Structure 1
Amino acid sequence: MPTKKYDLEDRIVEFAANTALFYQDLPKDAIGNYYGNQLLRSGGSAALNFGEVQGTNSDKDYINKASLSLKELKESRVNLKILKKLDFGNGIRRNNLLDEAEQLIKIIATIIKNKKENP
């Protein structure tokens, strides 16, 4: 039975899409707009920067682009924690996004660490 190849880019794209869907359900008040817009940007930027990782020509470029993606994922994580404290958005979807952000951060941080240690 063939199995689907694990693809980190697909997971990050899925995360970006899910943050956009989560954003749509946030209240359209000042707080919801502020944190929602920030989450929309950081979640999308994490995916777009990771897309650029695929086209790098050197380990230095790879680490730089992957670090940008990591930074955006960390921003998304903090944003989701704030939204959790505020009890904004769908709790199950928010918790799933927070869990996925944590996993993606660990994966990308490990990749960066390994690239630095084994150029």
Structure 2
Amino acid sequence: MTTSKYDLEDRAFNFAADVRLFCKNLTKSLINMDDIKQVIRSSGSVGANYIEANEPLGAKDFKMRLKIARKEAKESRYWLKLIKISSEIEEVNKIEELIQEATELNKILSSIINKAKD
């Protein structure tokens, strides 16, 4: 077991937790409720799929789970951007940090996928 595995696992967990805390403080409206539900799901799925990737059934399963985690990071970024434009957000810096973290998780996962053997 490598330290980097746990660092990324922790980082993905912290991302999902931060998204939840951020969404908890948003004013709920008809417009943003679905976006909030979606970003909560996708942000949690990044880490969940990364954890599954670390218990692979084979090389193809490993890469597939990483690709799903990467897809969920991209999706999280999408929902966060929609929330940013459709909600009254007092903490603009916080949503920018979350969008940046989703982008960085996407890049990290892409790098792992590109280096993984088939």
TM over 0.5: yes
Q: Structure 1 residue 54 and structure 2 residue 54: aligned?
A: yes
What is the CA-CA distance between 1:57 and the residue it aligns to?
3.4
Match in the other structure for 1:12:
12
Identity within the alignment, %: 35
* TM-align CA RMSD: 1.4
Structure 1, unaligned runs of 5 or more: none
Q: Partners of 2:98 and 2:14 in 1: how far apart? A: 10
Matched-pair contact (CA < 8 Å) for 1:32–1:88: no
CA distances 1:75-97 after superposition (whole Å, capped 9, x unpaired): 00111111222354331211110
**TM-score, with normalisation over the residues of structure 2?**
0.87
Structure 2, unaligned runs of 5 or more: none
Moved over 3 A (4+): none
Matched-pair contact (CA < 8 Å) for 1:20–1:40: yes
Q: Partners of 1:27 and 1:102 in 2: how far apart? A: 25
Match in the other structure for 2:103:
102
CA distances 1:34-87 after superposition (whole Å, capped 9, x unpaired): 111010010011111111111113211110111111111100011111122235
Counterparts of residues 34-113 of structure 1 (less than 5 Å): 34-89=34-89, 90-113=91-114
What is the CA-CA distance between 1:22 and the residue it aligns to?
1.1
2:76 partner amino acid: S
3-state SS of 1:31 partner: coil
**TM-score, with normalisation over the residues of structure 1?**
0.87
Matched-pair contact (CA < 8 Å) for 2:31–2:86: no
